[in-house]
Amino acid sequence: MLWFKCDEIIPGVAIAVGFIAICLGGFFLSYEYDPIVNVEILCSMAEEGENQRDIFRQAGKTAVILGHTGETGRVLVKLLAQEKLFKKVTLIGRREIPLDKEVVGPEFEQKVVDFEKLDDYEEDFKGHDVGFWCLGTTKAKSGEEGFKRVDYDYVLKTAELAKSGGMKHLQFMSTHSADHTSSLLYTRTKGQVEEALKVMHFERLSILRPAVLMVDRQESRKMEAFARFVLTPVSKLFPTAITVPIEYVATAMINIAVSTTDKNCETFENKEIHVLSGKSPICQKKEKTKTK
């Protein structure tokens, strides 16, 4: 028979839980209210992205999405199909997936490639103005070597082919805290890819670093599902701290593509992605402050 002193243990546990909650709250609060240095520029880019769509359509540009079968890629395809910003969109992946013909128009074309023989598909990477690189896997799914093969080798090789094929603007979906010197495989690999892409000298390179993506994945990832469950209330209280809805990421990518800049390389952190999506109240608050 187990026995313990409830009057001693329960209050102690309650104090410990309360202390941890206060610490986490302070941590999230510091992230949430950490000022964005270039907020005016980001708000301007989001507004330009919204306002310049008609002009952008008339330019008749083409795009390619790498990783269109993933969660971000799927949302991006849906939004681009609705907006009809490009005269042609090539979807490159290792397999073909059913597309909703009521949403996706004839300007979308799927290309199936063997990533182990990418040189054989050089023609598929030619003639694109904008590239959205959303390709990625996990160590749990593919193992360490498989992860590096996909997230490093495939990403860089396809970027090289796209660059030699005339691509002007590449957008790469990286991750929060990406750092080529990190001790963690995931963030280190993403950081290494970022550094390698920079020396390819695209006319414009846009790197997005979203934190935890809020999305119900079609592919089951238990740890991510648990993290989203725990972080759902956090995302309500501190929406820009360490989470971002996947629709915000896709919309931000579109706004970045449509907007103009004099920078050759730009990196957008999680909070900045919220602003670039045009869905964050941050820009509205800034506008109200100016008019007062």
pLDDT in tens, 194-238: 999 999 999 999 999 999 898 876 555 566 666 667 777 777 777
Is residue 248 part of the annotated active site? The answer reads: no
pLDDT in tens, 15-41: 666 656 576 556 556 666 677 878 899
Give domain status of residue 2, yes or no: no
Give domain status of residue 201, yes or no: yes
Tell me which of 31, 121, 152, 186 is the catalytic residue: 186
Query: What's the confidence (pLDDT) of residue 291?
Result: 45
Q: Which residues of 110-140 are buried (b: 16+ CB within 10 A; e: fewer)?
A: beebebeebeebeebbeebbbbbbbbbbbee
Give domain status of residue 1, yes or no: no
Give me the domain span that covers residue 40: 9-291
Taking the model in full, what pTM does it have? 0.87
Give domain status of residue 259, yes or no: yes
Tell me which of 61, 148, 190, 271 is the catalytic residue: 190
Give domain status of residue 184, yes or no: yes
Give domain status of residue 3, yes or no: no
Q: How many domains does the chain have?
A: 1
**151: how many CB neighbours lie within 10 A of its CB?**
24
pLDDT confidence tier of residue 279, bands split at 50, 70 and 90:
confident
Under DSSP, the state recorded for 180 is: T
Q: Which CATH number fits the domain that encloses residue 105?
A: 3.40.50.720
pLDDT in tens, 118-158: 999 999 999 999 999 999 998 888 899 999 999 999 999 99
pLDDT in tens, 233-275: 777 777 888 899 999 999 999 999 999 998 999 999 999 999 9
Average pLDDT, the chain: 87
Is residue 190 part of the annotated active site? The answer reads: yes
Give domain status of residue 37, yes or no: yes
Give domain status of residue 186, yes or no: yes
Provide the phi-psi class of 251: left if phi over 0, else alpha when psi is between -120 and 50, else beta: alpha
